[in-house]
Amino acid sequence: MQETPTGTATILRVLRISLHVGFAVLLLVAVVRLVAGTAGSPSPVAVIAGLALSAALALVYLVGTILEKRHAGNASRFDPTPYSGWWLGAVMALWLLLLLVSGDFAWVAFPLFFLQLHVLSRRLALPAIVVSTALLIGALWFHSRGSADGGLQLAMVLGPMFGAGFAVVTGLAYRALFLEAENQRIVAEDLRRTRAELAKTQHDAGVLTERERLAREIHDTLAQGFSSIVLMGRSAGKALEEGDVKAANERLRIVQETASANLAEARSFVRDLRPPALEESDLVDTLRRLCEKTETEAAARGTALRCRFELVGTPLDLPTTYQTTLLRAAQASLANVWAHARASAVVVTLSFLGSEVTLDVFDDGVGFEPSTAAVNARGDGTGVGLQSLRERLAALEGSLDIESAPGEGTVVALRVPLPARDGGA
């Protein structure tokens, strides 16, 4: 992904380009003046030497800047940083030789001051600039000896000194901007890395949440339906062995209905919709039909189980999540009743009590000791009913209480606060 340059990075880029352009222009002007003989009548040897040294200086300067730019764009490329001091020494040496040829090359010193501040540490850069300024003043005086107003003049001293001072101030500002840009780059890289890690963490959490949701849905619907199909199939087979065709047909009808309901549930998972039973009717009617179905299936298995539904309060139109949670809770509780309780009667009570809705499932079965009962998932995929129910209720800030004792039946009580409505709870 291409990074968008910041304001500081843009300023630094403009300054670097200006520095390189300024160096090239000043060097070219000095070469033109040398060839044209503007500052005097240089010998052919001086002109040739000046051209050769200028070409060498331009080549060394260009190679160093290109290598630095390539490494800045791709850190895996050759890193010229360890050799930057030698490169600067070569540039300064070629410049000093050009100063001996012609005083016109004195003005090239100003971009070189910036190079010294950029390449060298501040402890070394400032003395290097002082020495370069002194050499520049000496070169200007040396080349002015044959002129009419020869000798050391004030302009020869003040010009290089002011130029060096301006270069130092500007160079220090450039260094401060460079450090700020580098810090911004590091912070941006950390931010991108943190975003990537956060996105991965959120993705993993989403995957885990979806797995848990599917596990709850499968346990509360498909697994229980398949269990009922297996039991009904065995019961139908036993009825056929005994020659009771009517009972066998009745139990096979229940198998067919249960399989159809499971198929509808599976398709609902794919569409991520509300349970099919709630698509056809409201929660109250769905729970009433669930009790009738439980009693019918128990009778088909040869168990005398009476299942009754009771409604307390005025029913409210609950959100789909609330209806699904209450329906799954009733399905799981009734499945546990006929699978473990050996009860003769069970009562499902749905109550709308002001700011909350409750669901109580009571059976008169054998009961158990809640403190010692195993409620954790087992390795074969069973035993996740209560855990699944608690997770569903936790999402709605609800609670689950189980009251039971050996020989005294069991009560499963759910309490869910009603969602806030306009004008109150």
> What would the mean pLDDT of 309-314 be, rounded to a whole number?
92
Q: How far is CA 15 from CA 9, 180, 293, 350, in A?
A: 10, 15, 82, 76
- pLDDT for the residue numbered 424: 41
- pLDDT for the residue numbered 145: 65
Half-sphere exposure at residue 21, Cβ-oriented, CA atoms within 13 angstroms: 6
Q: For residues 227 and 224, give the distance between their C-alpha atoms in angstroms, rounded to a whole number.
A: 5
Q: For residues 341 and 335, give the distance between their C-alpha atoms in angstroms, rounded to a whole number.
A: 10
Which are the contacts of 317, defined by CB distance < 8 A and separation ≥ 6? 282
pTM for the whole thing? 0.44
Greatest mean pLDDT among 28-32, 217-221, 242-246: 28-32
> What would the mean pLDDT of 323-334 be, rounded to a whole number?
87
* Residue labelled with tokens 């991965």: 200
The length of the chain, given as a count of residues: 425
Q: For residues 183 and 94, give the distance between their C-alpha atoms in angstroms, rounded to a whole number.
A: 35
The model's confidence at residue 374, banded by pLDDT at 50, 70 and 90, is: very low
pLDDT per position as a tens digit, 118-168: 788 878 888 888 888 888 887 777 777 655 555 556 666 777 787 778 777
- For residue 103, what is the DSSP state? G
- pLDDT for the residue numbered 382: 46
- pLDDT, greater one: 221 or 235: 235
- pLDDT, greater one: 29 or 297: 29
- Counting residues of the chain whose pLDDT is more than 90, the rounded percentage is 11
Q: Residue 5: pLDDT above 60? A: no
Long-range contacts at 254-261 (CB < 8 A, ≥ 24 apart): 254/228, 254/296, 254/297, 254/300, 255/229, 258/225, 258/228, 258/229, 258/232, 259/225, 259/229, 261/225
- pLDDT for the residue numbered 356: 92
- Do 26 and 57 meet the contact criterion of CB atoms below 8 Å apart? no
Q: Are strands 345-353 and 306-312 parallel, antiparallel or unpaired?
A: parallel
Q: For residues 98 and 196, give the distance between their C-alpha atoms in angstroms, rounded to a whole number.
A: 54
Phi, psi of 264 (to 5 degrees): -65, -40
- Counting residues of the chain whose pLDDT is more than 70, the rounded percentage is 84
pLDDT per position as a tens digit, 191-216: 888 888 888 888 777 777 767 767 76
Q: Residue 311: pLDDT above 90? A: yes
Q: For residues 366 and 276, give the distance between their C-alpha atoms in angstroms, rounded to a whole number.
A: 33
Average pLDDT along the chain: 79
- Do 392 and 329 meet the contact criterion of CB atoms below 8 Å apart? yes
Per DSSP (E only), the strands in 118-272 are none
Q: For residues 159 and 143, give the distance between their C-alpha atoms in angstroms, rounded to a whole number.
A: 16
- pLDDT for the residue numbered 279: 66
Q: For residues 365 and 363, give the distance between their C-alpha atoms in angstroms, rounded to a whole number.
A: 6
Which are the contacts of 176, defined by CB distance < 8 A and separation ≥ 6? none
325 class by beta-carbon count within 10 Å (0-12 exposed, 13-18 middle, 19+ buried): buried
- For residue 421, what is the DSSP state? B
> What would the mean pLDDT of 365-378 be, rounded to a whole number?
66
- pLDDT for the residue numbered 2: 44
The β-bridge partners of 400 are 414
Q: How far is CA 404 from CA 284, 368, 386, in A?
A: 26, 6, 14
- pLDDT for the residue numbered 40: 61
- pLDDT for the residue numbered 1: 43
Q: Residue 69: pLDDT above 70? A: yes
Q: Residue 340: pLDDT above 60? A: yes
- pLDDT for the residue numbered 372: 53
Q: Residue 363: pLDDT above 90? A: yes
